[in-house]
């Protein structure tokens, strides 16, 4: 297995796709997707474009549909939900399809949606992601951070590093760094693994969320292995729970 880390979707190589792509948007899209599916949502369908989201969700039975949108860290007016994972409770989302658009994470999904395997990773489901990689052993894996409007995000790199470190520990010589970013990410994670919440609060997007009074979101996003679900793409842009990872 060759492991590549790209800090933003824009940094991925043009005209190429890996066997397996892992999308990371810790604060907060992928954390929210894991939470929603763990709470019983039928699926999460992601959109970079709000108009496409509106027209696609209009085709779905309204009682089985929730529309979620965030821009700049804040919920978008006229939508059912924003991007706080704490709002995605079983009472709210069970059996429903969530049509979601966020500032950064949904763009990362769009970049890799044609890859054979696409999964969503967060700190919450780290072991589920690592177990899946160990079992399926894809030849080439990209971990794609979402960044912030095309720029680097520290918290996404920490999560990429957690995946890289854990899979390298599990597979040893059977896993090699495809680029230096993977090694750098693993080093960052090892340095901060016991202080992730502190790291996330220092990051620029963490600072943005603190100004919006989302302290609880950051603490939640920094928790490791609280959920066993593995969100996997079942059709372009649609993520559901992988059957063996309920």
CB 101 within 8 A of CB 49: yes
Backbone CA torsion sign across 169, 175, 180, 182 = negative
Tens of pLDDT along the chain (246 residues)? 999 999 999 999 999 999 999 999 999 999 999 999 999 999 999 998 999 999 999 999 999 999 999 998 889 999 999 999 999 999 999 999 999 999 888 889 999 999 999 999 999 999 999 999 999 999 999 999 999 988 999 999 999 999 999 999 999 999 999 999 999 999 999 999 999 999 999 999 999 999 999 999 999 999 999 999 999 999 999 999 987 644
Does the pTM surpass 0.85? The reply is yes
Q: What is the pLDDT of residue 242?
A: 87
Phi, psi (degrees; rounded to nearest 5) at 149: 50, 45
Supply the range of the domain harboring residue 23: 2-245
What's the domain count of the chain?
1
CB 47 within 8 A of CB 33: no
Q: What is the pLDDT of residue 231?
A: 98
Q: Which of 30, 14, 32, 10 is nearest to 22 (CA)?
A: 30
Q: Map residue 100 onto helix, strand or coil.
A: strand
Structure tokens at 234: 């079942």
CB 200 within 8 A of CB 206: yes
> 28 preceded by cis ω (within 30°)?
yes
Domain CATH for 179:
3.90.1560.10
């Amino acid at each position: 297995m060759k492991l590549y880390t790209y800090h933003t979707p824009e940094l991925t190589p043009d005209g190429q796709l890996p066997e397996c792509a892992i999308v990371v948007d810790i604060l907060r899209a992928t954390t929210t997707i894991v939470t929603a599916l763990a709470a019983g949502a039928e699926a999460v369908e992601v959109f970079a474009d709000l108009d496409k989201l509106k027209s696609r969700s209009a085709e779905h039975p309204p009682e089985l549909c929730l529309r979620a949108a965030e821009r700049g860290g804040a919920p978008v007016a006229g939508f059912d939900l924003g991007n706080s994972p704490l709002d995605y409770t079983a009472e709210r989302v069970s059996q429903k399809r969530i049509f979601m658009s966020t500032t950064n994470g949904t763009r990362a999904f769009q970049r890799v949606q044609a890859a054979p395997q696409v999964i969503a990773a967060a700190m919450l489901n780290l072991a589920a992601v690592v177990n899946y990689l160990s079992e399926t052993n894809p030849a080439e894996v990209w971990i794609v951070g979402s960044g912030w409007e095309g720029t680097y995000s520290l918290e996404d790199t920490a999560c990429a590093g957690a995946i890289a470190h854990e899979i390298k520990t599990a597979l040893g010589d059977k896993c090699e760094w495809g680029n230096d970013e993977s090694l750098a990410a693993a080093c960052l994670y090892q340095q901060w693994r016991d202080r992730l919440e502190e790291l996330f609060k220092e990051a620029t997007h963490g600072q943005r969320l603190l100004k919006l009074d989302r302290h609880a979101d950051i603490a939640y996003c920094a928790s490791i292995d609280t959920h066993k679900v593995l969100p996997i793409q079942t059709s372009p842009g649609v993520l559901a729970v992988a059957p063996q990872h309920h």
